[in-house]
C-alpha cells in the first residue's frame, strides 16, 4: 500500500529524504512547506527496508469532488534508497499498482510531475504511461577546469564579462536583510516587466524564510554597480548540483547584461564548494529561444528535460475538458488540459520552469 506523509509530518518527511540515495532541494520538507499551491504529500511505498517515494501537491478541482496532483516549481520526481536502474522489476510493478490504487481511492483525475534530469528516474517512471519530452536544458560541468569551461563560451562572452567587471560591476554573496530586500525589489520589478502572474510574485518575507531554511543550502548572489544592487540570483546547492532557482535584473541595467557576470561567478563558487554540475535550465517552455541561446553561450552540454503527465481517470478527465468547453483534440502544450482556461498558475507546467536569467 501507499503511505501518505503530509506536510504536518515534518520528521517523517525529512527521514525519507535523508535516507534516499539521491535527492534535490526540491524534494525537501521545507521547500514543500513554502509552496503556495496545493497540499503537499509524500507518497511512500515500502518493501522491507527499501522504499520508493514521490512528492506531490494535491489540489481540488473547482466545482467538483475530484482532485488532481502536481509537483512544486522545480525538479522533483521520485526518490528511493536504491538506484532506479537497480530496482527489482517486481518492486517497480508493485509500486505502480499501489500508486494507481491510491489515485483511484483518492479521486485523483490526473498527475503532473517535473522529473529531475540528474537523478536517472526513467527506469522507474518509464513503467508508466505519460512520460513526456520537453526539450533541452543547459548545464555546466564544474569538474573541468575554469580555463576549459571558458574555452567553450560563445566567442564574445568572456570579453563581455571582462568589460562589465572593468565598468565597476562586482559580485557579493550575502543573506543580510538589506540584500534580501534589494533582491525582492529587483525580482518584483522583473516579474512585472515580463507580465508574470501572481503565482510568481514572492514577498520579502518569503525570501527570508527560503534563504534561512535548514533543509537545503541556498545562497543569494548579488551584482552591484557603484553601490547599487542591479542583479541577483538565488542558487541551491544539493548533492553536488547547483540549481539556478530564481534570478532577476533591474530594467535600467539590462543593456549591461550583468547576469553574464553573475553566472560566471556562480560557476567559480560552485568549484570552491565541490559541486559537480551547475544547472542553468532551458529556454521559455524549454524551447530554443533567446533565453536558451543566452544559457547555451556558457556551455555545449545539454540534457533532456522530461515531465510525467498521467491521466489516472480518463472518463472524468474527458468530462472535465468538455465541461470547460475545450476541444479534446486541442494541440496546446498544456496539462492538465481541463485547467487551460485558468492560464494563471503552474498548470502551464512546461512553459514556466526555465530558471530565467532575465
Task: List pLDDT tens digits, range 309-325.
Answer: 999 999 999 999 999 99
**13 and 126 assigned to the same domain:** yes
* pLDDT value of position 343: 43
Residue 168's domain spans which residues?
A: 143-275
The residue among 109, 110, 113, 101 whose CA lies nearest residue 66 is 109
> Cell digits for 352?
514556466
Is position 56 within any domain?
Answer: yes
* pLDDT value of position 285: 65
Is position 7 within any domain?
Answer: yes
**109 and 155 assigned to the same domain:** no
* pLDDT value of position 312: 98
| CA–CA dist 181, 204 (Å, integer) | 6
Q: What is the mean pLDDT of the chain?
A: 92
**233 and 151 assigned to the same domain:** yes
Q: How far is CA 97 from CA 94, 104, 130, 237, 282, in A?
A: 5, 11, 15, 34, 34
Final residue of a domain: which of 275, 295, 325?
275
Place of cell 544592487: 229
Instruction: Give yes or no for residue 293 having a pLDDT over 50.
Output: yes
Is position 299 within any domain?
Answer: no
**44 and 120 assigned to the same domain:** yes
**119 and 186 assigned to the same domain:** no
Rounded to the nearest 5°, which phi and psi values hold at 134?
-120, 15
- pTM, two decimals, is 0.91
**54 and 98 assigned to the same domain:** yes
**110 and 226 assigned to the same domain:** no
**126 and 87 assigned to the same domain:** yes
Provide DSSP, 204-227.
HHHHHHHHT-SSSEEEEEEEEETT
pLDDT in tens, 158-194: 999 999 999 999 999 999 999 999 999 999 999 999 8
**124 and 161 assigned to the same domain:** no
Least confident of 122-126, 196-200, 293-297: 196-200
Instruction: Give yes or no for residue 353 having a pLDDT over 80.
Output: no
* pLDDT value of position 282: 84
Is position 231 within any domain?
Answer: yes
* pLDDT value of position 286: 66
Is position 290 within any domain?
Answer: no
Is position 296 within any domain?
Answer: no
Which CATH number goes with the domain that contains 205?
Answer: 3.40.630.30
Confidence bin at 246 (pLDDT 50/70/90):
very high
Final residue of a domain: which of 275, 293, 315?
275
**194 and 126 assigned to the same domain:** no
**266 and 331 assigned to the same domain:** no
Provide DSSP, 49-102.
TEEEEEEEEEEEPTTSS-EEEE--SS-B--EESS-GGGS-HHHHHHHHHHHHHH
Place of cell 533582491: 183
Is position 184 within any domain?
Answer: yes
CB 110 within 8 A of CB 71: no
Is position 285 within any domain?
Answer: no
Pairing of strands 2-6, 217-225: unpaired
Q: Mean pLDDT across the stretch 15-32?
A: 97
The structural domain count of the chain equals 2
**125 and 156 assigned to the same domain:** no
CB 110 within 8 A of CB 335: yes
Amino acid at each position: 500500500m501507499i503511505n501518505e506523509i503530509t506536510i504536518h509530518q515534518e520528521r517523517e518527511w525529512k527521514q525519507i529524504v535523508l535516507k534516499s540515495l539521491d535527492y534535490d532541494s526540491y524534494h525537501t520538507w521545507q521547500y514543500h512547506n513554502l509552496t503556495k499551491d496545493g497540499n503537499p504529500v509524500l507518497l511512500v511505498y515500502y518493501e522491507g527496508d527499501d522504499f520508493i517515494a514521490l512528492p506531490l501537491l494535491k489540489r481540488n478541482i473547482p466545482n467538483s469532488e475530484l482532485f488532481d496532483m502536481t509537483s512544486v516549481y522545480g525538479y522533483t520526481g521520485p526518490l528511493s534508497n536504491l538506484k532506479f536502474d537497480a530496482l527489482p522489476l517486481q518492486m517497480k510493478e508493485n509500486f505502480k499498482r499501489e500508486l494507481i490504487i491510491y489515485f483511484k481511492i483518492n479521486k485523483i483525475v490526473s498527475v503532473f510531475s517535473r522529473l529531475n534530469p540528474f537523478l536517472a528516474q526513467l527506469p522507474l517512471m518509464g513503467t508508466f504511461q505519460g512520460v513526456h519530452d520537453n526539450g533541452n536544458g543547459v548545464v555546466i560541468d564544474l569538474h573541468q577546469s575554469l580555463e576549459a569551461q571558458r574555452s567553450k563560451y560563445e566567442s564574445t562572452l568572456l570579453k563581455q564579462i571582462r568589460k562589465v567587471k572593468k565598468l565597476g560591476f562586482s559580485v557579493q554573496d550575502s543573506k543580510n536583510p538589506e540584500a534580501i530586500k534589494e533582491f525582492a525589489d529587483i525580482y518584483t520589478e522583473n516579474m512585472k516587466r515580463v507580465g508574470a502572474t501572481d503565482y510568481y510574485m514572492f514577498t520579502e518575507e518569503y525570501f527570508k524564510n527560503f534563504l534561512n531554511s535548514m533543509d537545503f543550502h541556498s545562497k543569494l548572489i548579488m551584482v552591484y554597480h557603484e553601490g547599487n544592487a542591479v542583479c541577483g540570483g538565488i542558487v541551491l546547492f544539493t548533492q553536488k548540483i547547483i540549481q539556478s532557482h530564481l534570478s532577476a535584473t533591474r530594467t535600467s541595467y539590462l543593456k549591461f547584461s550583468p547576469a553574464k557576470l553573475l553566472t560566471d561567478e556562480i560557476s567559480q563558487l560552485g568549484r570552491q564548494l565541490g559541486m559537480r554540475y551547475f544547472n542553468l535550465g532551458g529556454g521559455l517552455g524549454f524551447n530554443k529561444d533567446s533565453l536558451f541561446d543566452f544559457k547555451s553561450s556558457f556551455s555545449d552540454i545539454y540534457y533532456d528535460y522530461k515531465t510525467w503527465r498521467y491521466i489516472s481517470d480518463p472518463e472524468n478527465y474527458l468530462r472535465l475538458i468538455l465541461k470547460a468547453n475545450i476541444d479534446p483534440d486541442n494541440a496546446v502544450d498544456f496539462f492538465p488540459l481541463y485547467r487551460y482556461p485558468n492560464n494563471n498558475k503552474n498548470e502551464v507546467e512546461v512553459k514556466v520552469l526555465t530558471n530565467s536569467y532575465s
